[in-house]
Amino acid sequence: MKIAIVHDWLVTYAGAERVLASLIKIWPEADLFSVIDFLSDQDRAQLGGKVATTTFIQRLPKARTKYQRYLPLMPMAIEQLDLSGYDLIISSSHAVAKGVLCGPDQLHVSYVHSPIRYAWDLQHQYLKEANMNSGLKGKVARMILHYMRMWDQRTAAGVDDFIANSHFIGARITKSYRRESTVIYPPVDTRGFSIQEDKKDYYFTASRMVPYKRMPMIIEAFAAMPDKRLVVVGDGPEMQKAKAVAANAPNVTLLGYQPFAVLQEHMRNAKAFVFAAEEDFGISPVEAQACGTPVIAFGKGGVLETVCGLDHPQPTGVFYQEQSAASLIEAVKTFETSGGRITAQACRANAERFSEARFEQEMRQFVELRLSASRQARQPAHYRTAQAAPSLVAPSLAPPGLVTSDLTARVVPIKSV
């Protein structure tokens, strides 16, 4: 059986690429395809040294650093990849990867990190943050995104099965494509983090300094709490804004970019990890819990599935309801008074629900079941054997409070949630 794995673009090793690395680990014989591939040798080693077959965008000027500018060309580019010789196609998609062309005798399973965020419900937010919400540039951007939405919805028909990386994204898939999806949480390297029970007296946050991460807002909140220390790791376009906010806050330490070992040490020793983004899943809060570190998070998005609030029998964090300094300050106060109920052991146990081994088992099992079903469906009617449809329920991934039976397959139909 020939297998193809399709990824949007390969320029760095981040959350989506961790999923890709696990997919390659499950199917090492698969061929890799992508719009562009400019990975460093160090990052490529995480993918087993695989080099992707790319599109014409790879050869366009400044494709390495300005590839986002070629977004209008990506639908056409991804459709030029010839996958006609493959039996199984697995796409890892947050943009265009799911749009590859495939035939009725091929099985296409798409692992969706999100429908194209900036083309659907987050369009207005992205245009505002990019200063393109008015003028000629704004009009052109809206035309392009309108086209992207139509293309994105049309190409959903070419996917046989959707896998969402969270129930939050499963709801987006339903809204955007009117398709059901199965939730399989992405892999988190929990083995790379060890539990630390004795904490030091500081809070910690780490992220890329981009607008939706709201890092300056976190700093603003702690600047208003001079008796509470905050350590910040990360760099990016909003770094100068973060420095400006922290200028008069001696209790805030900006470390900029740091190697993994430094980040890990701060995460292990912090009394709590602070998170302000609305993420599709959010790996950092899970990594913090793997260290036995509680999480103080904005209560929207995937984090509601990865962190157990104070209303849970085994809480691992505190939620706040608005992306504002005032709301975060109240959450820190709640943590200071009620955080004693949160234990390092509960945090670690919750993080283990998202391990790499669990992801690989569930993905392999799901794809094998679908391959078996598709082969059965392609047989002439008089050769088919009556088989009970396998149940796809994941006890280990059920939301807190949801009781499920201990069945073999461990994936959750979004419709059943």
How far apart CA 294 and CA 350 sit, in angstroms, is 11
- Around Cβ 14, how many Cβ atoms within 10 Å? 11
pLDDT, averaged across the chain: 90
- Mean pLDDT across the stretch 192-220? 95
Q: What is the pLDDT of residue 128?
A: 80
Which residues, in sequence order, are CB contacts of 135 under 8 Å at separation 6+? none
Among 249, 198, 254, smallest CA distance to 228 is for: 249
Sign of CA dihedral 67, 72, 73, 74: positive
pLDDT(395) > 60: no
Q: What is the pLDDT of residue 405?
A: 37
pLDDT(377) > 80: yes
What pLDDT, in 10s, does the model give residues 257-302?
999 999 999 999 999 999 999 998 999 999 999 999 999 999 999 9
- Mean pLDDT across the stretch 29-41? 97
How far apart CA 62 and CA 67 sit, in angstroms, is 7
Residue type, 139: K
Bridge-based pairing state of the strands 272-275 and 107-112: unpaired
Q: What is the pLDDT of residue 383?
A: 63
- Mean pLDDT across the stretch 132-138? 84
Q: What is the pLDDT of residue 7?
A: 98
Binning the chain into helix, strand and coil, the percentages to the nearest 5 are: 45, 15, 40
Q: What is the pLDDT of residue 406?
A: 38
Residue type, 232: V
pLDDT(403) > 70: no
Are the C-beta atoms of residues 201 and 271 closer than 8 Å to each other? Answer: yes
pLDDT(417) > 50: no
Q: What is the pLDDT of residue 15?
A: 87
Query: Which of 30-44, 228-242, 382-396 is the least confident region?
Result: 382-396
How far apart CA 115 and CA 94 sit, in angstroms, is 6
How far apart CA 143 and CA 140 sit, in angstroms, is 5
Question: Has domain 190-353 been given CATH number 3.40.50.2000?
Answer: yes
pLDDT(402) > 50: no
Are the C-beta atoms of residues 230 and 204 closer than 8 Å to each other? Answer: yes
What pLDDT, in 10s, does the model give residues 318-370?
999 999 999 999 999 999 999 899 999 999 999 999 999 999 999 999 999 99
Banded pLDDT at 410 (limits 50, 70, 90): very low
Q: How far is CA 71 from the centre of its chain?
A: 20
Which residues, in sequence order, are CB contacts of 202 under 8 Å at separation 6+? 229, 230, 231, 269, 270, 271
Q: What is the pLDDT of residue 198?
A: 95
Identify the bridge partners of residue 110 per DSSP, sorted by sequence position.
Answer: 91, 162
- Mean pLDDT across the stretch 62-79? 95
What pLDDT, in 10s, does the model give residues 74-87?
999 999 999 999 99
Bridge-based pairing state of the strands 412-413 and 182-183: antiparallel
DSSP conformation letters of 294-317: -EEEESSSTHHHHS--TTSSS--E
Residue 164, token pair as written in the block = 């969402």
List the domain boundaries for the chain. Answer: 3-183, 190-353
Does residue 382 come out as left (phi exceeding 0), alpha (psi in the -120 to 50 range) or beta?
Answer: alpha
pLDDT(400) > 70: no
Q: In what order do the strands lie in the sheet with 230-233?
A: 252-254, 230-233, 203-206, 272-275, 295-298, 317-320
Banded pLDDT at 23 (limits 50, 70, 90): very high
Q: What is the pLDDT of residue 196?
A: 94
Q: What is the pLDDT of residue 387?
A: 52
Phi, psi dihedral angles at 344 (to 5 degrees): -65, -35
pLDDT(412) > 60: no
Sign of CA dihedral 121, 125, 130, 132: positive
Banded pLDDT at 6 (limits 50, 70, 90): very high
DSSP conformation letters of 104-122: TTSEEEEEES-S-GGGTTT
Query: Which of 49-53, 178-182, 387-391 is the least confident region?
Result: 387-391
